[in-house]
Structure 1
Amino acid sequence: MSSLSIQLLISLILLNFFAFQSVIAHDDTSDTSSAGCSSAQLPNGMRTDELTLVTINITDSRLSQSVIERHFYVRVPGTNDNLHSTDTTAKKSLMVFFHGFTGTPVEVSSLFEYNIMARQQDVIMIYPEGISDFFDENGTQETGLRSWNALGTADNSQSGCFDLGYQCAFASCAELNQCNNCTFATCHDDVLFVEKIIEWAFANLCVDTSKVFVSGESNGGIMTYELVTKYPNPFTAFIVVYGSPMQGYLNFSNPDIVGKSLLHIHGLSDTTVPFNGTLNELNLLFTPVPEVVAEYARIQSCSNQSIEFQTPFDTVNQFDCIEYPNCRSGVYVVLCTYNGGHSYPPMIEEATYYFLNNVTGALDKDSKMNLKSSAFIVYTLCMVLFYIM
């Protein structure tokens, strides 16, 4: 082999290597960095691996008390070398997680393993707090009834329910005249609340704006679908856990949901949000889950016939998944069921990150693919050089 040929092969190898380096460098310096990446420190004394309360004011001109204080909790993952750091220069993914009806951010943060998984995956967790403006018949405020205004929960006159007896018990619903006997949640503008949370996160934290996810359980799962309907833009994927729109409120008409993946996880024996949309224990009707997921798949131009979808969790609580394949929008639409009711099975957190990592590739698939393809090309060129010499 001539020295010129050897030089040519070496040049190709080096070019491929530097091309690979430029791909990784581009990934680190892309325009998906939020404004918060310009600051070297976390805001307001916040430290990594600590759950921090953040308070913001929301202005809703519909209400007489137009400015209201709202709360959410933030946990930025640290590292083994620097567990409690104030540094914020490393760009991270972001997940927003909604608690269920009467739940709290601190509860879901401590009971579930999202913090552990998020630390492993370098994901910032945000836990918003629902508002409780419910007053009993004596006029006493029930501060523990935190809820989300989402897809019929605050005004479900179309749901066919049979009178919960909550007529105008929520102050916001009474003022807005948006309540009926089936209302079971606040009428505050929770989509606006989420918009302000995202604005705060992008301004104050170093977020990869192309990797923002949202999830929630029960009423929080319904709130996740509310964002699918009204505010899908910031999110890459939606993960819903035993929540479904009220009957008559399913609405996937927003064109901005095209190109965003969905994972829905639901217990087959759930009596609070029944899987098949039957009347629940409080005489409420929800949209059947298979109908919700199939409609989402239709919007994403997926095959209309689902297929079996295997996961590493198939032996846990009869965890069983299906997928609507070949989505023209390039996303994944997956429905997983388990043998259980309206309570968290043990694999939810793992299934969430399995979906984001190994299925959609929303967290790190691109980097892996670049690494594998580049390594393969370099290896092939080296083998050619070895044999022809």
Structure 2
Amino acid sequence: MVCILRKISNLKHQADSGTRVHPKKKIVAMTAILFFLSISNCVRKQNGIHSRDIVTSHSIRIQERERSFLIFNPFTLNDGAPKKPLVIALHGRLGSGKQIMSESKLNSIAVRETFIAVYPDGYKRSWADGRGRTPADKEQIDDVLFIESLLSYMIQNYNIDPTKVFIFGHSNGGFMTQRLLSEKGSLFKAGVSVSSQLSISVLKKHHPSLPISVAIMTGTDDPIVPFFGGFVLDGGEIIGAEESITRWADWNRCSPAPLITNLDNKDDETSLEIRSYENCAGKTKARLYKIIGAGHQWPGNERRSLFGINLGKPTQEVNASEEIWKFFRETYQ
């Protein structure tokens, strides 16, 4: 690196003094400059100083396995800068951190709202959410430990406010979110499950020790995760979405009667009912986004299928990512 800098400096001195520089030397100089800039950028990223719109790949070792995750940190690391909220996003079954990052479009919200986002990868594209049906569950992967360790890594290495840690997940990731909120709720300020709710297995083993803000966002016509309870397509019994949010409202000691808001602004054969439980302990919240007519889709996105499986209708009545962040922000503003 020092050698490159000296060559660049010498060529600049020759040019400034009027000495003719051979064209080949100019090309070498320009190549050296570009190389130096690229190396400089790598060093900055390794030192934890990230440029806007940079996504970096990381891993930590858990249970003798390397567990990978992506970090989106659109801020430079300045001493004295305010600590930032952290949002952890958990993908669904057969997904990945990269997939949920793309599907949720969360990075653009992170830039606008000044938070850091992290996208962990599940084991064999799955999470040990407690239902006992996924590869991660069957091979006794400790995903609770993974997320707990990931959170410690983020707080130690990034400018994170530990009182503003949030988590959300879709489908299998949403069930994992419910497990984490029930088992390790003290780590999080709030959590949201999309296309998922409370499973019987988690209910039998864990109850939250402290009030925590929770929202559930799911469609009534979901062909994978039954809105009214029963058995998920890939296995495991769950309770209904309405009963799930009622449980959280009871645990949070909220007022028993929810505030109900109905929206039907889009011509897409879906509508939205929001049930908000207020006056909860510790200023927490419990909220259900009941998307009438919608299927197993990320709300606000276009229709998609999964290996030919019909996932039902999408909805444009609510943008899940925007609404999730709005819910998180309400918990501390």
| 1:74 counterpart (68, 71, 74) | 71
Considering fraction of residues, name the structure with more strand. Answer: 2
Aligned residue type for 1:343: Q
Query: What residue number does 2:33 align with?
Result: none
Alignment partner for residue 152 of structure 1, among 107, 110, 131? 131
Shift of residue 283, structure 1, vs aligned partner: 5.6
- Cα distance in 2 for residues equivalent to 1:319 and 1:242: 14
Quickly say closer, same or farther: Cα 1:86–1:325, change in 2 above 3 A.
closer
2:324 match: 352
Gaps of 5+ in 2: 1-43, 301-318
CA deviations over 1:297-329 (Å, ceiling 9, x no partner): 10111122222146xx75254122011222133
Q: How does 1:364-383 map to 2 (within 5 A)?
A: 365=333
Corresponding residue of 1:247: 200
Q: How does 1:319-330 map to 2 (within 5 A)?
A: 319-330=272-283
Q: What is the correspondence of 1:21-170 to structure 2 with a 5 Å cutoff? A: 43-44=46-47, 47-48=50-51, 49-58=53-62, 60=63, 67-78=64-75, 85=76, 90=81, 91-132=83-124, 146-154=125-133, 170=135
Deviations 1:322-365 (A, max 9, x none): 112221332111100213111112110111122223xx242xx2
Superposition deviation, residue 212 in structure 1: 0.8
Q: Residues 136-167 of structure 1: CA distance to partner in whole angstroms, max 9, x if unpaired?
A: xxxxxxxxxx1100122348xxxxxxxxxxxx
Equivalent-residue separation in structure 1 for 2:235 and 2:285 (angstroms) = 33
CA distance in 2, matches of 1:351, 1:333: 14
* Equivalent position SS for 1:274: coil
Structure 2 residue aligned with 1:202: 155
Aligned to 2:258: 306
- What TM-score do you get using the length of structure 2 for normalisation? 0.73
The answer as to 2:205 corresponding to 1:237 is: no
Matches for 1:204-283 after TM superposition, within 5 Å: 204-250=157-203, 253-256=207-210, 258=211, 260-282=212-234
> Which amino acid in 2 is paired with 1:254?
P
- Deviation string 1:54-100 (CA, Å, 9 cap, x unpaired) is 01111x3xxxxxx111101100124xxxxxx5657532110000000
1:44 Cα deviation after fit: 4.6
Secondary structure of the 2:167 match is: strand
1:240 and 1:263 in contact (8 A); partners too: yes
- Which blocks of at least 5 consecutive residues in structure 1 are unaligned? 1-40, 61-66, 79-84, 133-145, 156-169, 174-178, 180-185, 366-389
CA distance in 1, matches of 2:331, 2:279: 16
- Which residue type is aligned with residue 128 of structure 2? N
**1:125, distance to aligned residue in structure 2 (A):** 0.3
Query: Could you list the per-position Cα deviations for residues 115-142 of structure 1 after superposition, in whole angstroms to 9, with x for gaps in the alignment?
Result: 111111101000010011xxxxxxxxxx
SS in 2 for 1:196: helix
Do 2:128 and 2:141's aligned partners in 1 also have CA atoms closer than 8 Å?
A: yes
Query: 2: distance between equivalents of 1:89 and 1:314?
Result: 46
How many residues are treated as equivalent by the alignment? Answer: 265
State the distance in 2 between where 1:354 and 1:315 align. Answer: 19
AA paired with 1:70?
Answer: R
Cα separation, 1, equivalents of 2:207 and 2:235: 28
Asked if 2 retains the 8 angstrom alpha-carbon contact of 1:322 and 1:335, the reply is yes
Query: CA distance change for structure 1 residues 206 and 296 in 2, over 3 Å: closer, same or farther?
Result: same
What secondary structure sits across from 1:233 in the alignment?
Answer: helix
- Superposed CA deviations along residues 261-282 of structure 1, whole A, max 9, x for unmatched, are 1111001111111110134444
Change (3 A) 1:296 1:109: same
- Structure 2 contact 183–207 (Cα < 8 Å) conserved: no
Check 1:340–1:226 CA distance in 2 against 1; reply closer, same or farther (3 A cut): same
Residue 323 of structure 2 aligns with an amino acid whose one-letter code is: A
**2:185 touches 2:209 (CA, 8 Å); kept in 1?**
no
Shift of 1:252: 5.2
**What is the one-letter code of the residue matched to 1:267?**
G
- Letter in structure 1 aligned against 2:298: Y
Q: Which has the higher mean CA deviation after the structures are superposed, 188-197 or 320-329?
A: 320-329
Report what 1:342 is aligned to: 296
Q: Which amino acid aligns with 1:54?
A: H
SS in 2 for 1:286: strand
Q: Percent identity?
A: 27
Preserved CA contact (<8 Å) 2:259 2:276: yes
The verdict on how the C-alpha distance between 1:234 and 1:241 changes in structure 2, with shifts beyond 3 A counting, is same
CA RMSD of aligned residues (A): 2.3
Cα distance 1:249–1:226, how it changes in 2: closer, same or farther (>3 A)? closer
CA distance in 2 between counterparts of 1:235 and 1:42 reads 27
